[in-house]
Each structure stands twice: as C-alpha cells, then as structure tokens.
Amino acid sequence: MPGDKQNDRKHHGGLNKAVCIFQEEIIADLANNGHPISPGSTGENILISGIPIGDIKPGVSLKFPNVELTITQDAPPCKTIKDSFISGQFSVISHKKQPNFTRWYAKVTQAGTIYLDDSIEMVN
C-alpha cells in the first residue's frame, strides 16, 4: 500500500501482513463480557461481520466488490493493545490460547478500494 508504514517491521507490515482483519462478532462477545474493546482499538485495519468464527484460516480468500485479500496467518496480540481488555489480558485473542478467536493478517491479491458496508464473500 503506497505510503504504508509500521514502527515495528519485524512484527507488522510487509506483503504477507499488509492488512489486519478482525471479526465484529468477536469484538461484540468480548464487550459483552466486560472488556473495554471497541472497533479499531486493537489495531485492525478492517472489521468484518457475517463469516462464522472458525471459518477464517490461512489460505482462505475474502472477496470484496473491488478487492481480494488472502489470509496468511493469525495476528498475535501484544501489550500495545492491552487497554482493550480487562486487566490488560490481551491474550484472550491469542490464536494459540483461543484458536480462531483472533485477528488475522492478509496479503492483497487484488488491489482496490474497500468501502464501508461493502459485501464480503469467503472463497476457498
């Protein structure tokens, strides 16, 4: 993405970590359990809804009307997002501890613009 920068290139960014995706259903579940989480507070670039938790995994493609993203790996949480969780327990979205209850990194396989309320389809 032109002009895209990350402070920590070891853990963020690059072709396979171009976009961080989180599911609205996970945020809602966490908020309902008292976590002070909100859209964007964990650093995700795109918040999606309507795909069942557990269906997203590496190799799956997400197709928007003008963009296609391919999931490359889970996005391990770190202390910089601790304020979104009760007692700073960011590990509640660790794929290692809570499989599939996590954010995902994706690479861009078809570049374009994603708009608010765009439809999304899971491919593969």
| 70 pLDDT more than 80 | yes
Q: What is the CA radius of gyration of the chain?
A: 14
pLDDT: which is higher, 9 or 15: 15
Within 13 A of 65's CA, how many CA atoms are on the CB side?
A: 7
C-alpha dihedral sign at 39, 45, 48, 54? negative
Region 5-10 average pLDDT: 53
Q: Which residue has the higher pLDDT, 10 or 105?
A: 105
Q: Assign 124 a pLDDT band (cuts: 50, 70, 90).
A: confident
pTM of the model: 0.89
pLDDT value of residue 13: 65
Residues 6+ apart with CB under 8 A from 116: none
Location of structure tokens 């493609």: 61
Contact 67, 111 (CB under 8 A): yes
In the CATH scheme, what is the homologous superfamily, with its name and number, of domain 15-113? PK beta-barrel domain-like (2.40.33.20)
Distances in Å between the alpha carbon of 57 and those of 10, 43, 51, 92, 109? 22, 19, 12, 18, 16
Amino acid letter for position 16: N
Instruction: Give the three-class secondary structure for 29.
Output: helix
10-59 pLDDT per residue, tens: 555 678 999 999 999 999 999 999 999 999 999 999 999 999 999 999 99
- What is residue 121's predicted lDDT score, i.e. its pLDDT? 97
What pLDDT, on the 0 to 100 scale, is given for residue 15?
85
